[in-house]
Amino acid sequence: MSEQKPSSFLRRTAFEIKKYRVMKKTIPIIITACAILLIIGYILSALYMKFGAFTVMIKKSDFDYALTLSSSADFGSRTSRLNAQIDEKITNIDGRSLPLDLNNVDGVHNGKNYIAYTFYCKNAGQNTVDYSYHLYIANMTLEIEKACRIRLYVDGEYVDYAYPRTDGIEGPEPGTTAFLSTTTVVKKTIENFKPGDVTKYTVIIWLEGNDPECVDRILGGQMKVDMEMSIEANRGKPDYSDTQTD
């Protein structure tokens, strides 16, 4: 037994040395891979936020491009996707101080500490359809959405949306309509949308200083809002009566 001990000791030592060499090669590879993933994640996050603080898009369907978007009423430039850029840093405001003419300016017309974007959706196809608009929060950090307000104008009529109250009282924040869910702001359908018909939208986003959730812990938070248009139903036969040529 005394002769076997050194041999056993040597075998264990050789195994440990081999394991050490493997770990020495593997650990730097793992660290490098993790660093690369973190860098890629940071770049994607930065590009995602930079691509548009507010994005409008048409969902592809069997009726591709029957709907079209434009930031101007004359549809001089038509697209299936619009993006609105904002300043990287904004602070809270009192929503009652917002200008009264926010629905009267096309395209991006941001003000101090709020986002304002007006755009149009048109039926550029030949059929009458029903389509839905889905306004939702695509990305948020530090629960900043709880202090956010989103005002949506649809053909001149607006509603202020807010995260449901978190003070133990059921219902929406005063003067608002509650989000449908933690991420969905509103989802509704426009019916009998004829060829050539146009819907005008204005989206206003701000942090409400009077909200109980507007506290220091949300400092540095980020939020991205998207809006998706999708055709829900084709009403059948083509209707050429109101079709416009662009």
First-to-last C-alpha distance (Å) of the chain: 97
Which pairing describes strands 177-178 and 157-162: parallel, antiparallel, or unpaired?
Answer: parallel
Query: Among the listed ranges 107-121, 181-195, 197-211, 224-238, which one has the minimum average pLDDT value?
Result: 224-238
Assess whether pLDDT exceeds 70 at residue 49.
Answer: no
Q: According to the model, what pLDDT value does residue 240 have?
A: 42
Q: According to the model, what pLDDT value does residue 116 have?
A: 92
Q: Which helix (H) or strand (E) holds 56?
A: strand 54-58
CA distance 110 to 4: 82
| 139-160 mean pLDDT | 90
133, 190 in Cβ contact below 8 A? yes
CA distance 243 to 1: 99
19, 189 in Cβ contact below 8 A? no
Q: State the pTM of this model.
A: 0.73
CA distance 5 to 219: 64
Top pLDDT among 134 and 141 is at 134
Q: Residue 131: which pLDDT band, with cuts at 50, 70 and 90?
A: very high
Q: How far is CA 90 from CA 23, 148, 178, 217, 226, in A?
A: 48, 12, 23, 15, 19
| 35-53 mean pLDDT | 47
| 86-110 mean pLDDT | 87
Assess whether pLDDT exceeds 90 at residue 218.
Answer: no
